[in-house]
Amino acid sequence: MSVAVTEIHKQDQKPGRSLGYVFRQREMGIVLALVALVAYTAINQSRFLSSQSIRDILLNTAILAVLASGMAVVVITRHIDLSVGSVLGLSAFAVATVMQHNQDLPMVAALALGLGIGAVAGVVNGALVHFGNVPALVVTLGTMYAYRGLTYSWAGGQQVTADEVPRHFLRFANSDLLGVPWLVIIALAVIAGVGVMMRNYRIGRELYAMGSSPQAAGLAGIKIARNTLVAFVISGALAGLGGVLYASRFGTVDAASGNGYELQVVAAVVVGGVAVFGGSGTIWGAGLGALLLTVIGSALAVLDINQFWQQAIVGALIVLAIGADRLVAVRIARSLRKRDSHV
């Protein structure tokens, strides 16, 4: 079976090298766009490159990148998870509430609690998608409102403020190791860990295979149900982790925390080169997409440009990314037809 999985993955990369080449080029394009944007903004507003500004950008990117890493795994399998913002909010409020009533609880326990809450939400999403045979768009749209409603019901109009949680919990977001904030270190560890899993391990190859051709993956003996659950659990757990980081970073948490994050996460993944049709893209690309969107928002604020343009720019980037995916798909289909006609 492992040979069959490898062959499916190779077929996705074959006409070949072109697909991988295009996505590597897109990632390089994101880097160049970042350099150009930072340079232009810094020339017009030198404070953009101040240490505090850079630190804020990295901290804001860290949370978005953690969620984007999980979302990328789901999108690679031809699904989507619109509930990540609500899972973040539920996790953030739950962890903040627990920390409020347990002042001596260590940070490790808070991180584990957030991961656990997110993983449970991911299991629910994955089970409904596969065993209920319902499109992920519909399922996660429903659970997005369900998880948010649960948080609102629990909060009852109340909020947990920064002065009600332990000092060590708040310090975590602003602490650093050799000058690098812990939130950034965690985000890099998540991106690297998930990226290595997707690239070098069998489960990752199977997830890519499912996205490339679900029917062929099933015929090759890949356990579709198990892998669908794995993908959604990863996305949910990382959204839960993001909730802990959010609560630690901002201190004050209410039922609306994380509202709208799901759209930012989807945008980061798509702009980062993960194909909406599944089967291709990288976790590093999703992380770069998160960084680009954060820098765009910060640059527009520094340049005193109406925030409407941020939404317009992000929308344009998404349309361009989907258009690029479509062109690649058409090119590959033509290559396959030509190859088959010569056989």
Per-residue pLDDT tens over the stretch 197-213: 998 899 989 999 988 88
> What's the pLDDT score for residue 7?
43
What mean pLDDT is predicted for residues 59-84? Answer: 94
User: How far, in Å, CA of 117 to CA of 246, rounded?
Assistant: 15
Helices 107-131 and 224-250 sit at what angle, rounded to 10 degrees? Answer: 140
The more confidently predicted of residues 72 and 34 is 72
Report pLDDT for 178.
81
Greater pLDDT, 130 or 4: 130
pLDDT reading at 161 higher than 90: no
Query: Can you state the angle between helices 283-302 and 182-200, rounded to 10 degrees?
Result: 150
Mean pLDDT for all residues in the chain: 84
Of 89, 91, 197, 74, which Cα lies nearest the Cα of 125?
74
Residue 47: the pLDDT is: 81
When mean pLDDT is compared over 56-60, 177-181, 322-326, the highest value belongs to 56-60
Above 90 in pLDDT, residue 5?
A: no
Averaged pLDDT for residues 5-26? 47
**310-326: average pLDDT:** 72
Single out the residue of 88, 86, 112, 87 nearest to residue 99, CA to CA. Answer: 112
pLDDT at 127: 93
* Separation in Å, CA 17 to CA 11, 13, 279, 340: 10, 6, 14, 17
Q: What is the pLDDT of residue 342?
A: 55
Q: Which amino acid is at 269?
A: V
Tens of pLDDT, residues 186-196: 999 999 999 99
Dihedral (C-alpha) 180, 66, 273, 21: value to the nearest 10 degrees? 60
Query: What is d(CA 197, CA 88) in angstroms, rounded to the nearest whole number?
Result: 23
Q: Is the pLDDT of residue 22 over 60?
A: no
pTM here is 0.85
> Is residue 67 pLDDT above 90, yes or no?
yes
| pLDDT for 328 beyond 80 | no
Token pair, residue 54, equals 């850079």
What is the pLDDT at residue 171? 87
CATH number given to 2-9+24-38+47-333 = 1.10.3470
> pLDDT band at 138, cuts 50/70/90?
very high
pLDDT at 297: 84
Q: What is the chain's Cα-based Rg?
A: 20
Which range has the worst mean pLDDT, 19-28, 223-232, 302-311? 19-28
pLDDT > 90 in the chain, percent: 38
Higher pLDDT, 236 or 170: 236
For residue 318 the two structure tokens come to 């998404």
**In this predicted model, which residue has the larger pLDDT, 262 or 13?**
262
Reported as a single tens digit per residue, the pLDDT across 267-288 is 899 888 888 877 778 899 899 9
Cα–Cα–Cα angle for 73, 337, 216, nearest 5°? 40
| pLDDT of 118 over the 50 cut | yes
Q: Are the CB atoms for 232 and 118 separated by under 8 Å?
A: no
pLDDT for 85 = 93
- pLDDT value for 301: 82
How does residue 335 score in pLDDT terms, banded at 50, 70 and 90? low
> Residue 174's pLDDT band (boundaries 50, 70, 90)?
confident
